[in-house]
A and B are shown apart, each in its own frame.
Chain A
Amino acid sequence: MPQNAPTPDRDAELALCERVAKGDRAAAEALARQVMPVVRHAARRLTRTASDAQDATQVATLEILRSAGHYAARGSLGGWASRIAARSVVRWNARHGTPTMHEHNPDRAPSAAPRAPGFEALPRPLEAYLDGLPEPQRTALVLRHSLGHTIPEIAEVTGAPVPTVRSRIDKAMTRVRAAIRRDVQLGTKGASA
């Protein structure tokens, strides 16, 4: 197992987490604000509406504060927080359910930047394709490619066997490719961002 030596930054992050674990409110706010971007990112990717993303962000943030005492600076603070957030959001989804893939979804979580440079070749916003996936496939694909989880980690988070996780990712990509092929053939261009 890689045991990276803590860097000066990691030392500071470790100290911050220790203060949080002892109940230091200022440290907790500093940590919450520091990890908020990755928590929000995970929540937006794994939920289907802005309000769900907001709710899941709150739950995940509290989970990170509670877990601060376990941070050991073996990896980046952001990576550690992202993993806790992903796990927390997946659980939140499991409890609250999510709209089906065909459900109209006016309260869609805002896109990451659908027309950002380099993404012009994508006919529609990213979320349009993700919303077309059944929840288990979407979760597996997002955890794998967006949040950088390994296959065993996804298996653990979702409670599915490794072969099932692989199958879900394969099926997700097959669906996405079919949707993209249709859009390319129809000449769909940047539906609303």
Chain B
Amino acid sequence: MTLHLDDARWRAAIDADLRGDATPAQSELIAEYQPQGAQQRAEAAFLAALAEGPNELDVVEDEPLDWLSTALDTHVRATSTTRPQPAVQASTSRSRWPLVAAAAAAILFTAGASYFALQSNAQDLRLLQAGQVAPMPPMDMAPAAEAISAAEPWQLASGSARLTAPSPTLPVDQTLSVESPLCVERPGHSICADAGSRVTARSSGALALHVGTATVRSEDAKDIHVELDDVTVRAASHSVVIIDHQTAGWSVTVESGTATVTELGLARRLEAGESLQRDSRSTDASAPQAKRTVKASTLLSRARARRRDGDPRGAMQTYAELIRQHPRSAAAQTARMSLAQLQLDKGSAKDALRSFRGYLKRGGALSEDAAYGEIRALRALGRTSDAKRAARAFTQRYPGSPYGAKLKQ
């Protein structure tokens, strides 16, 4: 089989493009060139077929989708916290099963907890067989319905917290700083958080304890869910559980009743008098490495959650922690860009410059954005001549960049 010289260049260009480091000349070659050899033409057809977008098989228009109705009902219930809701209908049909599982996961856990629950399912099963951990709640409609019915607003009972507007209830998805010991309650449930704690009421009825200490009491048949970043604590009915969550780690102590702690997808049941703790800054040399560091993806999810919750400072700390713990990971590169952007927004141009350059030093798909960020940081620092020099280099390197027009301003 003859391999044309241009076919070989075209193939090299394809490989570079797939790896994300094609030069402009290679991109041009890919766009313009028609391979000559039979095999290369077949390869081109493969790539064209693979790149093809949605087609007629994917279009639904008015197609009736019975599962979609269930999905919509589930979504509406999950987003509503005020109206009484009917229980979700259970179904055994195969096409509804994954939706049911996803709905339960969506309502019971944060996205991060769900992710790790999915990832470590196989490990769960092994541990269950060995009797080492308590079973996870079955992911069917029953717990979902229970969680929905429990999603009543938390009433402010005593203490004070900084609220953006006067409210008798804890606003949903708004992170609050507790100024003096704060107690919130709803029928059969109460949670008291110490001063200095930061909490967020979730629409699912769960409470996120970002930092601080809380005493959780359940006096009726329903469980209470408390989220600690990637850990979920479920205080069973008629239980009193004390939860402490600090930057250095967390602890859960059961005073009475039982609680289930789900960490990275593994559920552990605690009885009265038992406690469980994790020290994320442990320096114990005998501890396995995995215990001393948090997974990069976990830290990234945590940082994004803090950003979503309107806590840019917490997000910046978490991004920095990610970079410190996993400096060579792909997530750290993503974190460098996000951190740089936040630093620039917060007026820390010097730090932003360092972060943008940290990204550029290692390179990546966002190099163009990082180079532009570097120029913005230099401008913010008043280093005009450096900024102009960097802008000239940028224009030469990225002649067709959408940032070009902004640089001229």
Contact = CB atoms under 8 A, between A and B. Distances in A.
Residue of A118, A162, A170 ringed by the most chain B CB atoms within 10 A? A162
Interface residues of B, number: 73
Nearest to A58: B99
A62 B69 CA distance: 11
A170 B15 CA distance: 7
Contacts of A63: 102, 106
A184 B58 contact: no
Contact of A92 (B98, B328, B334): B98
Contact of A23 (B14, B54, B59, B79): B79
Interface in A143-164: 144-146, 150-153, 155-156, 159-162
A94 interface: yes
Contact of A58 (B98, B331, B334, B369): B98
Given A36-B58, A40-B58, A62-B99, A91 B18 contact: no
Contact of B79 (A21, A40, A144): A21
Contact of A152 (B61, B72, B334): B334
A151 B41 CA distance: 26
Contacts of A29: 68, 72
B38 A184 contact: yes
A177 B72 contact: no
Given A40-B57, A70-B308, A152-B365, A122 B329 contact: no
A4 to B, nearest CB: 9
Contact of A155 (B39, B75, B106, B330): B330
A73 interface: no
B20 interface: yes
Contacts, number: 198
Interface string A24-42: 1100110011001110110
Given A51-B94, A113-B52, A162 B99 contact: no
Contact of B365 (A32, A44, A62, A150): A150
Nearest to A21: B79
Contacts of B103: 62
Interface string B106-120: 100001000100110
A interface residue count range (under 10 / 10 to 19 / 20 to 34 / 35 or more): 35 or more
Interface string B83-101: 0000000000011111101
Contact of A184 (B42, B49, B61, B78): B42
Interface string B1-44: 10000000000001100111000000000000000001101111
Contacts of A112: 49, 52, 55, 57
B71 A62 contact: yes
B90 to A, nearest CB: 16
Nearest to B117: A95
Contact of B54 (A40, A55, A114): A40
Interface string B346-375: 000000000000000000111001000100
A44 B49 CA distance: 13
B314 to A, nearest CB: 18
Nearest to A54: B95
Contact of A121 (B44, B76, B297, B341): B44
Given A155-B330, A176-B43, 18 more contacts: A21-B79, A23-B80, A36-B59, A37-B59, A38-B53, A58-B71, A66-B78, A91-B119, A92-B98, A92-B118, A95-B118, A112-B55, A113-B56, A150-B365, A152-B366, A162-B333, A180-B42, A181-B1
